[in-house]
Amino acid sequence: MAKKKVTPMMEQYLAVKKQYPDAFLFYRLGDFYEMFYDDAIKGSQLLELTLTQRNKNSLEPIPMCGVPHHAAKNYIDILVDKGYKVAICEQMEDPKLAKGMVKREVVQLVTPGTIMDEGASQAKSNNYLTALHEQAGQLGFAYVDLSTGELKSTVVNNLASLQNEILSLHTKEIVVDQSLSAQTKELLAKLKILSSHQDDYQAQAEFSFISQDLHEASEIEAVMHLLMYLKVTQKRALAHLQKAVHYEPANYLKLDHYAKRNLELLVNSRTNKKSGTLLWLLDATKTAMGGRLLKQWLERPLLNQAEIEARLELVAILKDNFFERSSLQESLSKVYDLERLAGRVAFGNVNGRDLLQLKTSLMEVPQIRYVLEQLAGKQFADLLAKLDPLEEVVDLIDRAIVDEPPISVTDGNLIKAGYDPKLDEYQDAMKNGKLWLAQLEASERELTGIHNLKIGFNRVFGYYIEVTKANLAKLPKDRYQRKQTLTNAERFITPELKEKEDLILGAESKAYELEYQLFVAVRDQIKDQIKRLQSLAQALAKLDVLQSFAVVSEDAHLVRPTFTSDKSLVIKDGFHPVVEKVVGRQSYVPNDIIMSPTKQILLVTGPNMSGKSTYMRQLALTVIMAQIGCFVPASQAALPIFDQIFTRIGAADDLISGESTFMVEMKEANEALQNASENSLLLFDEIGRGTATYDGMALAQAIIEYVHDKVKAKTVFSTHYHELTDLEQTLAHLENIHVGAVEKDGQLVFLHKVEAGPADKSYGIHVAKLAGMPSELLTRADKILTKLEAHKQDQVSPAAKPEELIKEEGQLSLFAEETPVEPKAKPVSKQADKVLKELGQLNLMALTPMEVMNAVYKWQQELE
């Protein structure tokens, strides 16, 4: 296109577009942002805009579409939300003053990871931009929330840990460079996250300051590339970015993305929404900052007992002081999002209304300080030290900004009278000028006798006197000069009006310009206090989360947990807090979970729908709530501090990877077996059900024995394989428990009560009846079950076909005594002989389930 003859304007467009080939270019033309060529074709489809053409009459018209500049944000948000980038190209000079082509340049590149203005629905969520650098076998990883200035980094040791970090942050964009290996690139491609390249960076003092506390080379490189990408895309100072903080994933309770999904910590697995999750239960926060911090705490529960106890102590104090807590809630509900306000101040896109929100928020700090000072003890001393009211900022905004400022900062009426003497002069001239105009209108009406004569104004013609055509004859001919003709009226100007117009418009123009300059000066003074604002925001966010824990603990009747050092676990009257809230306290049956130092495995049996999975999940949620510093759902709770939680609950295919339910099950189980320690918690729900009965039973038993002998972690294992309950006789650290159910008048009644010992039977047909299956089908199933239970398994004819399992009496029976017809022997190949030999030599007890699977897979390939 560039080689074709195009206009100077399109030449300028193509030159700018060449710099941003992977972004939609919003090219400013007057009051519109225009898109051309492929951007216009694709943009019109995504944004549902009318596609038009530039140079319609030429041989090759240019596709074109546009959006009004005042509504551009909504359209940009739509494109970014769909995973695209948008380059905003502005006019850099006044078209009236430009000599030749108006100078234009891109002022910002908006990307999924750098969007600043989140909607109200996303106020309690972070938007993280991540970066990755690979060096000397290390993976340096960094992430930033541009809207709040939070910046953290670490070094991850393998791709599994990298995937877990990326998925935990819910990042939409990752900055990469040429250092990445093929395996790392393959992982990022599988995760389908937008990758943006930043292959080099320029050393800057700002970057050195931000990264000064880091030591690992790969980590520093990741931060540097991240900062450079922000500098290139945002094209402005990054004064609000905080120093990069190194974190160690090993210092927090490890929860991989499988566990978070299975336990529904943040997202409901059925609705993909917040409702029905642990976050939903615990979120009684009053500020957006508190909501974001709560999510961060849930993502990373603590391992340090002293830190956990410190949080619990503050929650206990707030829980016990209802009136003080209510006062705090009232004050916090008036606090706006200080973190993001500080970011907007630094970015230069704050307006007058934002500054009033800042003032309103800061005015609540003295009251919050007063309430905390009334609470006994020194536990809140650290928080109080950070609750800086910033009185000088409140005073500055109060003196400078009017009580009802406009949205735009360039349209005037923004600065209070008395703040600046020069501005007062201009405003006085404007006020007197308008008074003079009113007096002129009255005198002209009296002089001419035209009662509907009026003085008006527009931006094109300035001030004018408008007279209807019916009254034109009454006008004096010596003073009135025609300026514009309308359908029913004429507009005129007089020498006196022209003289005053210059004074009034001159004063308005100068006043608007001065007001903007004064506003920028106020903004810059506040910008100098950003670090104090951010420190205050962090303290208020923490206080908000703690009061939220106190509120939920009181409302849901939660209890303060204690921690054991001997690996014992005692939970009395425990319950699943989310389920209990949904079904109601009266309907929920609480249960004890008790594991002595020598009992590390609970083997749970019982019918489907009896509550086994809920029982397992409530244990995990109790652990997580305790280790984030919240009270827990029980009447009494004493827990060890766990380092990791692994779960295998529920059945789901991994459609993205093309893996079956059973493969996903085996992968999750293997992840636990390979990485769990004695201090971990394992929750296995019906392992082995995704394959043939004997295969599944063998795998389940092998996993239990491996955990018992090798891993030695606290484990809850539910199963329908009743044969596994015999393991209690041979495994010293295993105990059978079951969820009770009884039959009454042919109906199954779930007791939802966990009791000692194994379940007596499965009740599968009864559950099918509850599901509403046809009675004829259920009767037939009952007959088949009776036959199966009446015969030993070794009586099954190996020649029986699947369809013969459901033959009526008189037909070929599954348990027929006749001697089966021997199938014709097939010659054994050398390959099959080799496989049989290897199978005979295999030591099953020395292998993990995953190693057994790999061997079987290899043999299968060889036989094929």
In the annotated binding site, the residues are 606-613
Q: How far apart are CA 354 and CA 358, in angstroms?
A: 6
Can you tell me whether residue 89 is helix, strand or coil?
Answer: strand
Please give the C-alpha separations between residue 411 and each of 94, 408, 434, 511, 512, in angstroms, as whole numbers.
Answer: 16, 6, 18, 10, 6
DSSP H or E segment with residue 505: helix 495-527
Spatial separation of the C-alpha atoms in residues 610 and 767, rounded to whole Å: 10
**Residue 590 and residue 575 in contact, taking contact as beta carbons nearer than 8 Å:** yes
The torsion angles phi and psi of 508, rounded to 5 degrees, stand at -60, -50
189 token code pair = 């491609």
* Dist CA 205 CA 215 (whole Å): 17
Edge-first strand order for the sheet with 489-493 is 454-458, 462-468, 489-493, 481-485
Instruction: Say if CB 48 and CB 36 are below 8 A apart.
Output: no
β strands within 332-407, DSSP E: none
What phi and psi, each to the nearest 5 degrees, are found at residue 603? -100, 110
Specify whether the CB–CB gap between 578 and 280 falls below 8 A: yes
Closest residue by Cα to residue 183 from 218, 130, 137: 137
The count of other CB atoms within 10 Å of the CB of residue 602 is 22
Output the six-digit token pair for 144.
Answer: 């930033």
Query: In this structure, what is the dihedral angle of CA atoms 358, 364, 369, 371, given to the nearest 10 degrees?
Result: -150
Q: Which residues are annotated as a binding site for ATP?
A: 606-613
For residue 338, the SS3 value is helix
Structure tokens given for 60? 């090759």
Residue 137 CA to residue 142 CA, distance in Å, equals 17
Amino acid present at 665: E
Quote the strand ranges of 117-231, DSSP E. 129-135, 138-145, 150-156, 173-176, 194-197
**Hey, what are 84's tokens?**
């695209």
Map 705-733 to HEC letters.
HHHHHHHCCEEEEECCCHHHHHHHHCCCC
Beta strand extents in 430-527 (DSSP E only): 454-458, 462-468, 481-485, 489-493
What are the residues whose beta carbons fall under 8 Å from the beta carbon of 650, sequence distance 6 or more?
262, 269, 613, 685
Element (H, E) at 752: strand 747-756
Of 28, 52, 26, 30, nearest to 39 by C-alpha is: 26
Instruction: Tell me the C-alpha distance between 24 and 667, whole Å.
Output: 41
Total Cβ atoms within 10 A of residue 15? 11
Residue 586's φ and ψ, nearest 5 degrees, are -70, -30
**Cβ atoms within 10 Å, residue 208:** 11
132 vs 575: CA distance, rounded Å: 41
Provide the token pair at 17.
């577009």
